[in-house]
Amino acid sequence: MRFTEQNPMKIGTRGSPLALAQAYETRSRLGKALGLPETAFEVVVIKTTGDRVQDRPLSEIGGKGLFTKEIEEAMLAHDIDIAVHSMKDMPVDCPEGLVLDCFLPREDVRDAFISTKAASLADLPSGAVVGTSSLRRRAQLISSRPDLKVVEFRGNVQTRLRKLSEGVADATFLAVAGLNRLGRSELITAAVPVEDMLPAIAQGAIGIEWRGEDAEVSAALALINDADTATRLAAERALLKGLDGSCQTPIGGLAELSGDQLHLRGQVLRPDGSEQVSHKMTGPATQAAAIGAEMAVWLRDRMGDGFF
């Protein structure tokens, strides 16, 4: 192994507390798998466009790639060796030369309802203000609770909680997984059942990207890859790809495993929440990507032109 204290493996990440927690988890798992101390790894913080621009919705400034572009450029320039990503931020295609096929065990996939004024989404009074930056959550909220007012809510976990305490909104949503990883599960007022709010594609999953030419890194990452998470994400990301999904597309999707069977749920919504199309499919887990692609075709056939 070429990585030592003198020549550490450089782990690229965004600088938010959650991104750093995910990078530290990756460092810990690699260290244990390879028998290396923490000092054989260096966490390199890279500021992305999505982090710098906080005053506009993501859909206005370019979508998901805004949280990955600068990190991927650093890897192609050999400034870092691997990159740790929240998989729900990842476009379905990698830049040429990069590979994304290592996933850590998936956390809780549900959305967390957070409010000091109501015990659950159903308990919010008519006219209450909900803050979210997610087009999926916005569309799902308007579809199920058209009596609520939804406002734009950008920023990391700490920023959103501050906005909530300042009264900018009565409630907000974050991923349960992120709060768990930050050790802040006490902030969760209620976890929303997936039947009520289908999560984002790949929510709760951490992915590790690497240069395809780096055989030593490939062998190291194979030691920590979680096969079940990889299978589930193969179905969900095939669904996303088939729908040409982006941050400008309200899409929910969740694959779950039961023995050798994979169960996939998918949902697409109009951005204004006025219409939604949902579907469920089950098939062999070995055909995960094919199931996702088939569901995308089914949904597209029923959406019609101009759905988004």
Domain boundaries, the chain: 9-104+205-225, 111-192, 236-302
pLDDT digits (tens, 9 = 90+) for 107-135: 999 999 999 899 999 999 999 999 998 99
Q: Name the active-site residue from 89, 108, 111, 170.
A: 89
CATH architecture of 111-192: 3-Layer(aba) Sandwich (3.40)
Q: Which of 15, 19, 187, 174 is nearest to 87 (CA)?
A: 19
Beta strands in the chain (DSSP E): 9-13, 41-45, 82-86, 98-103, 111-115, 129-131, 149-151, 171-175, 190-192, 206-211, 251-258, 261-269, 276-284
Give me the residues of the chain with pLDDT under 70, please: 1, 49-65, 245-248, 308
Which two three-digit tokens encode residue 239?
A: 């669904």
Q: Which of 200, 204, 292, 192 is nearest to 250 (CA)?
A: 200
Give pLDDT, residue 63: 57
Which two three-digit tokens encode residue 92?
A: 């379905």
Crossing angle of helices 215-222/17-34, nearest 10°?
90
Contact 131, 169 (CB under 8 A): yes
89 is catalytic: yes
CATH superfamily membership of 236-302: Porphobilinogen deaminase, C-terminal domain (3.30.160.40)
Whole-number Å distance between alpha carbons of 41 and 206? 18
Domain 111-192 in the same topology as domain 9-104+205-225:
yes
Whole-number Å distance between alpha carbons of 296 and 255? 13
Q: Which of 103, 81, 100, 80 is nearest to 92 (CA)?
A: 100
Contact 285, 230 (CB under 8 A): no
Give pLDDT, residue 69: 87
Torsion sign (Cα): 245, 140, 17, 238 = negative
Q: List the end-to-end C-alpha distance of the chain, in Å, as a whole number.
A: 49
Contact 265, 285 (CB under 8 A): no
Question: What's the pTM value of the predicted model, to 2 decimals?
Answer: 0.91
Which two three-digit tokens encode residue 87?
A: 């998989």
Give pLDDT, residue 55: 53
What is the per-residue burial (b if ≥16 Cβ within 10 Å, else e) of 265-284? bbbbbbbebeebbebebebe
9-104+205-225: CATH, from 3.30.420.40, 3.40.50.300, 3.40.190.10, 3.40.47.10: 3.40.190.10
Give pLDDT, residue 246: 54
Tell the residue number behind the tokens 């750093």, with chain if given: 20
Whole-number Å distance between alpha carbons of 101 and 99? 6
Give pLDDT, residue 161: 85
